Structure 1
């Protein structure tokens, strides 16, 4: 038989459970960033604990009064999602902001399944399913409408007093609002899911066409854009890293590398920055669509995901690539180079853009992203719970992905050298960087305003064939250089072309 409990006591109990099970990351951040030894710091901590219990109870009170038993099921869903969210916060140091929600909704089965672990299942069992079962052990006694309104009004008055009592802490709260909002459960994912879809809906549903372009000459030219995944420049020996992760690229004459930062720390936004002509916040035509519409042959090959809508004829995803692939490279990014020269030679156009979207350095299973012969830095981390590995094991696994990237890009350049009938150029740039345990952070996805340099500093590498365009020296580079550089190399004349943004002389 179910125990009867008044609604106000039920929601206080549920709110206390929510505080106990899911607010540890929130209060850990408060304790480490505020001065809890001062009087104001003590008041802040006590006020946040009280506010957490009362505010959550207030929202649960209204929800359960209006939704009745449906509200219990909604709370059960919250408990299980909160358990998963807390696991990822504790394990990878993520913050559940709008960007992270975008990562969640834009991931695919292959990526999401790589996070499955015993630890995650234990979080779901003990912090999700068992507390959810407890919710249904009580029969709620709902108050009369008059009592409900009085309780609601008094709670709002109390919360208002609590806010003004902390006026001396408003500046600290405002300064850390993004992080606090990304750690408080369940509102971090509830509010930011709403923000994410609101952001999506505000975007133009149809791409805005850019001004028409013309091709200035008939010279045969190939521009190859290689988009790296989760690659940070600090682990490239080209950028001064003490381990030789670029044994092949370092031997290529005329290869240039530049300092650059990504405009975001997650794939969809990073790709948008690479492919758009400037940062407008609007849905303008991206590079492959624009060139294809204006007479350039465009080939897009990807083992990844998260691309904006690419409207070309020759778009090949991982499934398509694997259908006709044979050999060990088919399980890795080497598949992107299979048959590429034959496709180029079969083209009937003089101007060709090739985009290779890789996935080599995406975590957490770095050790699975390269063939065994590239495992030169050992021992390597083989756990998806990255904090369980030593940082050196984690870095070794990641460095092996960079070693494999070095091989892929160098192999591509050697293939391009054989196409002597064409002027050829290769640009390698990453969508964003990666954290490998620095400051307790792993992988990527922290909002760019809060992100560490490891998630922002990316490699920007360029090469051109002998006799074609040369590359400028000492130029500041960003992901937005790509659009204008490709137009320049392929001799595409456009009203939106910005010569200062091209990397070529």
Structure 2
């Protein structure tokens, strides 16, 4: 048998029996060839280099588009684009070189690709940039806000970036190597890319330096480097630095002379608006009458007010701070805020939130509550969807909330802060009730690029009209208290919003780069007759100052002046209403 097997094997192919001939292999398909190429054994460093090249090309279209927009003619921006591409690849390789070890790094590489894909989607869709403030907002986003940001477009944009590297990472075989060998090879790779990046930046410093100095936002468009850097700055850096102290500012705070023999205590409502633009308020000259309720109540509308930031996290703590915007942003420690000062004066203070994201630390040391906590089921059904409620929910049960405050404080006066849902995007259509959708058709999706500009504006303006109604009802509630209180209201939004101007959507761009529409906010004041008499305010004087430039820096001092709270941090020069009080009242402040 062995002899026959040897003999048959020695036959020439032409004489071999047909049944013994081998079947010819089919020609490989392109997909099979690509799969075989991916499956070749490779070092972890070669995978890192390939992944970096892929991410620079496939996950950085917003950066390349922005460089083309800034650069003008191709002869100008193409060399700079080439340099930025080289620097980006070197940065990615340097970052990923710390992960160039074994096959157990594959899940981490996949997470990096997924992060880059998701970030690119939001940069393309809303023209956001991943600076530390935006990353903090992302990390603090609640479930309802996440739901508003989900769409089929997101799934598509992520899949086309992730699919190819995911397949490749699944197939690729990594060549094992001893740990010490891996370590020195990774260090060599890190050294090489650092040297290449340094040489390239030095060679083109004349072009690169002014570009980055005049367009700071570009550094936060390098994907996913910016996201990882910003996450590190937000999460890791505070853990490595010194713990922030809370600096007290309430020392010496007392109530002014107007409280000595008051007939009625003040009832002051401060409404913190959300994402409202000054130029979309009919009160400020907008072509559409988005504010008929406020106009009917003869409010004062300050028409030139700028925010402290372009997002809630930056603006809300800043607007309640005794520090200026510049000092607030440069601080190394935390400071007590307006809520602390008002409470220290002896007034009854309460913060009511219709924002799932909360008060950003402003109300931590005073009584506060969420508007949709322990809500009656019937009321929740009428005003809420999932965990989001229309702002009118804050007016329900308000008397009971106030009655629960300490009686001795209520007898001196009450300060109520309402934090709106307002015009929070991108789902603007959710921010107004069905009977107030006067502007049609409105955008009914959170993928704003799928709507026409007019549909987007309609949805946003309907949300402003709903804020108008909410403020009107709040004023009516205050007027109903005129027999027992001296009522007043001040409304100011935290920041504005981009609605497609310059291709930008939503908000949160770095302050120096953000357009005015993200920084100009409405501010509206209403005073009952009792408060006008109490503060000796001249309406004619206040009306003459409605076009005076103001900022969030003024809010702290305006409120203290209105409520006649004496404290060392009060500055009359920043109180926009100080000059409209009688000399006696101004002296007491």
TM-score (norm. length: structure 1) = 0.92
Per the alignment, do residues 172 and 365 of structure 1 end up closer, same or farther by CA in structure 2, a change over 3 Å counting? same
Determine whether 1:101 maps to 2:164: no
Contact 2:267 2:415 in 1 (8 A): yes
Q: C-alpha displacement at 1:338, in angstroms?
A: 1.4
* 1:33 matched residue in structure 2: 70
Contact 1:64 1:72 in 2 (8 A): no
- Aligned equivalents of 1:207 and 1:107: distance in 2? 25
Determine whether 1:10 maps to 2:64: no
- Aligned equivalents of 2:186 and 2:319: distance in 1? 54
* 1:483 matched residue in structure 2: 556
Determine whether 1:22 maps to 2:59: yes
- Match runs of 1:299-378 below 5 Å: 299-304=350-355, 305-309=357-361, 310-312=363-365, 314-320=367-373, 322-323=375-376, 326=379, 328-329=382-383, 331-341=389-399, 343-344=401-402, 348=407, 349=410, 350-378=412-440
- Aligned equivalents of 2:400 and 2:378: distance in 1? 14
Determine whether 1:76 maps to 2:110: yes
Q: C-alpha displacement at 1:70, in angstroms?
A: 3.9
Q: Name the SS for the 1:382 alignment partner.
A: coil
Aligned residues: 502
- Aligned equivalents of 1:15 and 1:312: distance in 2? 47
- Aligned equivalents of 2:353 and 2:489: distance in 1? 16
* 1:285 matched residue in structure 2: 336
Contact 1:256 1:463 in 2 (8 A): no
- Match runs of 1:117-156 below 5 Å: 117-128=151-162, 130-141=164-175, 144=181, 150-156=188-194
Q: Name the SS for the 1:126 alignment partner.
A: helix
Q: C-alpha displacement at 1:196, in angstroms?
A: 2.4
- Match runs of 1:73-472 below 5 Å: 73-128=107-162, 130-141=164-175, 144=181, 150-176=188-214, 178-197=216-235, 200=238, 205-210=244-249, 211-216=251-256, 217-218=259-260, 219=262, 220-279=265-324, 280=327, 281=331, 282-304=333-355, 305-309=357-361, 310-312=363-365, 314-320=367-373, 322-323=375-376, 326=379, 328-329=382-383, 331-341=389-399, 343-344=401-402, 348=407, 349=410, 350-420=412-482, 421-468=484-531, 469=535, 470=537, 472=542
Contact 1:263 1:479 in 2 (8 A): yes
Q: C-alpha displacement at 1:151, in angstroms?
A: 4.6
Q: C-alpha displacement at 1:325, in angstroms?
A: 6.7
- Aligned equivalents of 1:402 and 1:149: distance in 2? 57
Q: C-alpha displacement at 1:379, in angstroms?
A: 0.2
Q: C-alpha displacement at 1:69, in angstroms?
A: 2.9
Q: C-alpha displacement at 1:176, in angstroms?
A: 4.7
Q: Name the SS for the 1:460 alignment partner.
A: strand
Q: Name the SS for the 1:480 alignment partner.
A: helix
- Aligned equivalents of 2:288 and 2:349: distance in 1? 36
Per the alignment, do residues 71 and 414 of structure 1 end up closer, same or farther by CA in structure 2, a change over 3 Å counting? same
Per the alignment, do residues 225 and 98 of structure 1 end up closer, same or farther by CA in structure 2, a change over 3 Å counting? same
Q: C-alpha displacement at 1:345, in angstroms?
A: 6.1
Contact 1:268 1:306 in 2 (8 A): no
Determine whether 1:50 maps to 2:77: no
Contact 2:311 2:507 in 1 (8 A): yes
Contact 1:341 1:415 in 2 (8 A): no
- Aligned equivalents of 1:124 and 1:325: distance in 2? 40
Per the alignment, do residues 321 and 205 of structure 1 end up closer, same or farther by CA in structure 2, a change over 3 Å counting? farther
Q: Name the SS for the 1:185 alignment partner.
A: coil
Determine whether 1:63 maps to 2:98: yes
Higher Cα Rg: structure 1 or 2?
A: 2
Q: C-alpha displacement at 1:152, in angstroms?
A: 4.4
Q: C-alpha displacement at 1:388, in angstroms?
A: 0.5
- Aligned equivalents of 1:99 and 1:443: distance in 2? 14
Q: Name the SS for the 1:362 alignment partner.
A: coil
Contact 1:298 1:353 in 2 (8 A): yes
Q: C-alpha displacement at 1:260, in angstroms?
A: 0.2
- Aligned equivalents of 2:229 and 2:493: distance in 1? 30
TM-score (norm. length: structure 2) = 0.80
Task: Supply the RMSD in Å over aligned alpha carbons.
Answer: 2.4
- Aligned equivalents of 1:133 and 1:277: distance in 2? 55
Q: Name the SS for the 1:257 alignment partner.
A: strand
